[in-house]
Chain A
């Protein structure tokens, strides 16, 4: 049967296929780079892998990477699981306020918190160690350890993990619990035998997702790990592409990235397998009533203590440290002499530096959102409406791109840009950063839009077709307006993520493309802590506005 494809379906396919081609090219370039000497395309060598295997401490570095992932996930779940439970299934009185706090905390980028912890707890000049010395005690705190890296990462990832698990916990069918109760099973056993197994796939999927994130993000290992000489895969990749002497070695960086890529790919497969179980469990339950809320009773105090600890460590301490550091010329604990030195001089110092990074950050955010939304709307329409085999393959490839860590995607695309420089001179421009970040965001944005599009019955659009309205008009006047809340949510989250992204802009760093996050990283690395603090306050202020808007518009309170 020859049914002519409407031109607009072809248009969407072309848009979606460019994303797929870029994803596959990224992966291919990563492999090619790992087989090329330094930055030369077209010459083949196994030297990078030979170098990799003769790397001193390779095994301990890989174990350390794994330890960072597992440690972060463990600490993270220790906070996120009780928080999600409290927010969804108990009569905790201040749920709304806590949800606002979780959202607000998204405004503090992870590298800012990591910096604050370095300022507080580094063994030489850390504020806390100064305090101990003033009291006649030896310096006790040393932030440069795998444990601190895990802990700081966990603190920063907690809100995202809570938001990811919250829907599953809220949709939990409490009649399952009630059925156990009327069958004479104790609440304790019901929790262990009914509630936990039912929620296990959702919790497992979240854990795996954040494990992948924990081994690939550079924010914390870059700030705490590198100065402390704690090597993990991402710090070594960074160092081999940001060499002090000689050209960056993209070949070795790509080879280094292979174990990380394998780990993330495995993680994504497990994640997919768990997600399917989540869906199967969701189908089992029938009509949900409002879930039965447990009385916290005596547990109210421990719950408050846990929440208080997290708020103190993840929000209050980092924020106050940044404010304090921005006002003092060098790191020191509050004292009478420190108070006398307080000044706004670093604010004035920053004023001259701020415009170019600020403008670049805005362009970066706008560009990333535009590419991300155009791509994901096309992919989602094809995957949920056209639904032919090629469309499903496009959707799967986009989702599987989750397995390529941002840093490695950056290495591959930088290598590509270097190779193609004479034909497409994009090297050193914001475009590379924008495209890489948009590609990285696609797995999330397409998932968000697919979820929304699948919930809406396709008869909404069929009703327009049989009323004589064309595909294009129906797309613009029915499909897009109806999934608008999901698009808005995707835009807000992408804004938040891209404005505070450090890893990818840092990998493409050139003087013309400095953004606020890379500027902070540079100032911190060169010891200009006070100016780094001022810039941090700027990005926090900007993100706070986005976070508050997204809390009002998109994150459902109940």
Chain B
């Protein structure tokens, strides 16, 4: 986490704390949080519901007043608790796409987009309004619907109008609050790519909130995993996937098997040897810097990284029994049990093993992680 806001950051957040009921003893929804988003970046906030990600977004928009910290957008202090600065939402250079879309039901598609341009305080010249609206309508293939009532549009069309309305303002910072979560799965999958392409083509800096890890990984240039008002880890999708720095992040991203382990040996190459219920296993050591002998940690292997071994007795090969096999088309999910452990594995359908069969598992060292224990016990909530 950068301690000082970088000069190149379009959005700078430092020491931010937001609460919904300070005196009632409710913990702060956002707790002393620092974050920088670079110009042109697509930054995703990911976390379970109630982790504070939407609160953070609303604080950036100015819809929620924090009680500590500072927010800078494009070099301008829009909020500073120390000096009492709090610029109202209408005067921040942002635009926002709401989860509910918040389209004004009494206005047409055209009017929904034109209304902020005409009546807002963002300095759009009168003769610029219509061309701007037509441009975004065209960009989102909505030209044919400019005079339709928004209440007659499908969910996907409404979503596009909401995005068009935000983009027409040409904001420095685009805020998106779970914009795809009200759509059906198929449409979500298609729109992820379209929204990402569009936003990066325009080059607008975007802060995007979601609870869906696949959506986050697919869309983000960088993302932050949030939990209980704090950021647990910031990085690129690959960094977070391959090098989770905590149990929470390891559990939250991807389908990870985690079992308690103890460091038994530190190798020169940076690899570690862990004592686990599966036996002694070689793992990568980059998630657990400064590992000490005898240190407690977690051993982690993703479901899709487990392989069936041709020969027993090799390094990182463990005997187990198939307890349950669930066929789901492209892959087969197995529940595997061995002496004192149970694992879930997902294998390609060509590895079709019947229930009850004894197998040898290979957990490749390059995919095995040693994950630090969370200081506080945390029950990770899997997203729906």
A478 is an interface residue with CB less than 8 A from chain B: yes
B84 is an interface residue with CB less than 8 A from chain A: yes
The answer to whether A6 touches B104, judged by C-beta atoms less than 8 angstroms apart, is no
Contacts of B121 in A (CB 8 A): 468-470
Counting chain A CB atoms within 10 Å of each CB, the highest count among B86, B90, B91, B96 belongs to B90
Contacts of B119 in A (CB 8 A): 469-470, 473, 477
The answer to whether A466 touches B94, judged by C-beta atoms less than 8 angstroms apart, is yes
Contacts of B373 in A (CB 8 A): none
Contact of A466 among B63, B99, B115 (CB under 8 A): B63
The answer to whether A482 touches B105, judged by C-beta atoms less than 8 angstroms apart, is yes
Name the distance in Å between B137's Cβ and chain A's nearest Cβ. Answer: 16
Question: Measured between alpha carbons, how far is A484 from B99 in the docked complex, in Å?
Answer: 24
Name the distance in Å between A387's Cβ and chain B's nearest Cβ. Answer: 12
A462 is an interface residue with CB less than 8 A from chain B: yes
The answer to whether A466 touches B90, judged by C-beta atoms less than 8 angstroms apart, is yes
Q: Mark B332-371, 1 if CB is under 8 A from A, else 0.
A: 0000000000000000000000000000000000000000
Q: Mark B95-138, 1 if CB is under 8 A from A, else 0.
A: 11011101111100000000110011110000000000000000
Q: Place the interface of chain B in its size category.
A: 20 to 34
B160 is an interface residue with CB less than 8 A from chain A: no
Question: Measured between alpha carbons, how far is A371 from B151 in the docked complex, in Å?
Answer: 33
Contacts of A3 in B (CB 8 A): 65, 86, 88
The answer to whether A466 touches B106, judged by C-beta atoms less than 8 angstroms apart, is no
Contacts of B106 in A (CB 8 A): 481-482, 484
Contact of B169 among A459, A460, A468, A484 (CB under 8 A): A468
Contacts of A469 in B (CB 8 A): 90, 115-116, 119-121
Look across to chain B and name the residue whose beta carbon is closest to the beta carbon of A469: B120
Known: A467-B116, A470-B121. A462 touches B89 (CB 8 A): yes
Contacts of A467 in B (CB 8 A): 90, 95-96, 115-116, 120, 122, 165-166, 169
Contacts of B47 in A (CB 8 A): none
The answer to whether B63 touches A465, judged by C-beta atoms less than 8 angstroms apart, is yes
B92 is an interface residue with CB less than 8 A from chain A: yes
The answer to whether A463 touches B169, judged by C-beta atoms less than 8 angstroms apart, is no
B229 is an interface residue with CB less than 8 A from chain A: no
Contacts of A478 in B (CB 8 A): 104
A183 is an interface residue with CB less than 8 A from chain B: no
Contacts of B88 in A (CB 8 A): 3, 6, 465
The answer to whether A459 touches B90, judged by C-beta atoms less than 8 angstroms apart, is no
In the complex, which residues 172-203 of chain B have their Cβ closer than 8 Å to any Cβ of chain A?
175
B32 is an interface residue with CB less than 8 A from chain A: no
The answer to whether B81 touches A1, judged by C-beta atoms less than 8 angstroms apart, is yes
B291 is an interface residue with CB less than 8 A from chain A: no
Contacts of A460 in B (CB 8 A): 102, 104-105
Known: A467-B120, A467-B169. A1 touches B102 (CB 8 A): no
Name the distance in Å between B43's Cβ and chain A's nearest Cβ. Answer: 18
B251 is an interface residue with CB less than 8 A from chain A: no
Name the distance in Å between B168's Cβ and chain A's nearest Cβ. Answer: 9
Question: Measured between alpha carbons, how far is A471 from B119 in the docked complex, in Å?
Answer: 11
The tally of residues in A whose CB lies under 8 Å from a CB in B reads 23
In the complex, which residues 446-480 of chain A have their Cβ closer than 8 Å to any Cβ of chain B?
457, 459-460, 462-471, 473, 477-478
Question: Measured between alpha carbons, how far is A232 from B119 in the docked complex, in Å?
Answer: 58
The answer to whether B96 touches A463, judged by C-beta atoms less than 8 angstroms apart, is yes
The answer to whether B100 touches A466, judged by C-beta atoms less than 8 angstroms apart, is no
Question: Measured between alpha carbons, how far is A473 from B90 in the docked complex, in Å?
Answer: 11
Question: Measured between alpha carbons, how far is A360 from B94 in the docked complex, in Å?
Answer: 53
Question: Measured between alpha carbons, how far is A469 from B165 in the docked complex, in Å?
Answer: 13
In the complex, which residues 5-45 of chain B have their Cβ closer than 8 Å to any Cβ of chain A?
none
Look across to chain A and name the residue whose beta carbon is closest to the beta carbon of B99: A459
B244 is an interface residue with CB less than 8 A from chain A: no
Name the distance in Å between B100's Cβ and chain A's nearest Cβ. Answer: 5
A2 is an interface residue with CB less than 8 A from chain B: yes
The answer to whether A457 touches B100, judged by C-beta atoms less than 8 angstroms apart, is yes
B67 is an interface residue with CB less than 8 A from chain A: yes
The answer to whether A465 touches B89, judged by C-beta atoms less than 8 angstroms apart, is yes
Look across to chain A and name the residue whose beta carbon is closest to the beta carbon of B92: A466
Contacts of B65 in A (CB 8 A): 1, 3
Name the distance in Å between B38's Cβ and chain A's nearest Cβ. Answer: 22
B62 is an interface residue with CB less than 8 A from chain A: yes
B61 is an interface residue with CB less than 8 A from chain A: yes
Contacts of B92 in A (CB 8 A): 466
Question: Measured between alpha carbons, how far is A481 from B92 in the docked complex, in Å?
Answer: 25
Name the distance in Å between B220's Cβ and chain A's nearest Cβ. Answer: 22
Contact of A1 among B67, B99, B100, B165 (CB under 8 A): B67
Contacts of B86 in A (CB 8 A): 1-3
Question: Measured between alpha carbons, how far is A240 from B120 in the docked complex, in Å?
Answer: 59
Look across to chain B and name the residue whose beta carbon is closest to the beta carbon of A462: B63
Known: A1-B86, A468-B122. A477 touches B115 (CB 8 A): yes
Contacts of A6 in B (CB 8 A): 88
Question: Measured between alpha carbons, how far is A439 from B63 in the docked complex, in Å?
Answer: 34
Question: Measured between alpha carbons, how far is A6 from B89 in the docked complex, in Å?
Answer: 12
Question: Measured between alpha carbons, how far is A2 from B80 in the docked complex, in Å?
Answer: 10
The answer to whether A462 touches B102, judged by C-beta atoms less than 8 angstroms apart, is yes
Name the distance in Å between A123's Cβ and chain B's nearest Cβ. Answer: 59
Question: Measured between alpha carbons, how far is A465 from B61 in the docked complex, in Å?
Answer: 9
Contact of A463 among B91, B102, B122 (CB under 8 A): B102
The answer to whether B95 touches A462, judged by C-beta atoms less than 8 angstroms apart, is no
Question: Measured between alpha carbons, how far is A464 from B96 in the docked complex, in Å?
Answer: 9
Question: Measured between alpha carbons, how far is A459 from B175 in the docked complex, in Å?
Answer: 13
In the complex, which residues 65-80 of chain B have their Cβ closer than 8 Å to any Cβ of chain A?
65, 67
Contacts of A477 in B (CB 8 A): 115, 119
The answer to whether A464 touches B115, judged by C-beta atoms less than 8 angstroms apart, is yes
Name the distance in Å between A351's Cβ and chain B's nearest Cβ. Answer: 45
Q: Mark A1-36, 1 if CB is under 8 A from B, else 0.
A: 111001000000000000000000000000000000
Counting chain B CB atoms within 10 Å of each CB, the highest count among A468, A470, A478 belongs to A468
The answer to whether A463 touches B105, judged by C-beta atoms less than 8 angstroms apart, is no
Contacts of A471 in B (CB 8 A): 90
Counting chain B CB atoms within 10 Å of each CB, the highest count among A457, A467, A469, A470 belongs to A467
Contact of A462 among B81, B91, B98, B115 (CB under 8 A): B98
Question: Measured between alpha carbons, how far is A468 from B115 in the docked complex, in Å?
Answer: 10
The answer to whether A2 touches B89, judged by C-beta atoms less than 8 angstroms apart, is no
Counting chain A CB atoms within 10 Å of each CB, the highest count among B96, B99, B175 belongs to B96
The answer to whether A468 touches B120, judged by C-beta atoms less than 8 angstroms apart, is yes
Question: Measured between alpha carbons, how far is A1 from B81 in the docked complex, in Å?
Answer: 7
Question: Measured between alpha carbons, how far is A3 from B90 in the docked complex, in Å?
Answer: 13
Name the distance in Å between B80's Cβ and chain A's nearest Cβ. Answer: 10
Name the distance in Å between B61's Cβ and chain A's nearest Cβ. Answer: 5
Contacts of B99 in A (CB 8 A): 459
Q: Mark B155-173, 1 if CB is under 8 A from A, else 0.
A: 0000000000110010000
Question: Measured between alpha carbons, how far is A2 from B83 in the docked complex, in Å?
Answer: 9
Jot down 27 A-B pairs with beta carbons below 8 A, ordered by A. Answer: A1-B65, A1-B67, A6-B88, A459-B100, A460-B104, A462-B61, A462-B96, A462-B98, A462-B102, A463-B96, A463-B98, A463-B165, A464-B104, A464-B120, A465-B63, A465-B88, A465-B89, A466-B61, A466-B63, A466-B94, A466-B96, A467-B115, A467-B122, A467-B165, A467-B166, A468-B122, A473-B119
Task: Kindly list the 8 A-B residue pairs having the minimum CB-CB distance in the complex, ordered from nearest.
Answer: A467-B116, A468-B120, A459-B102, A463-B102, A468-B122, A465-B89, A466-B96, A459-B98
Given contacts A463-B103, A465-B63, 7 further A-B contacts (CB under 8 A): A1-B67, A3-B88, A459-B100, A462-B61, A466-B90, A468-B169, A470-B90
| A residues at B contact (CB < 8 Å) | 1-3, 6, 457, 459-460, 462-471, 473, 477-478, 481-482, 484
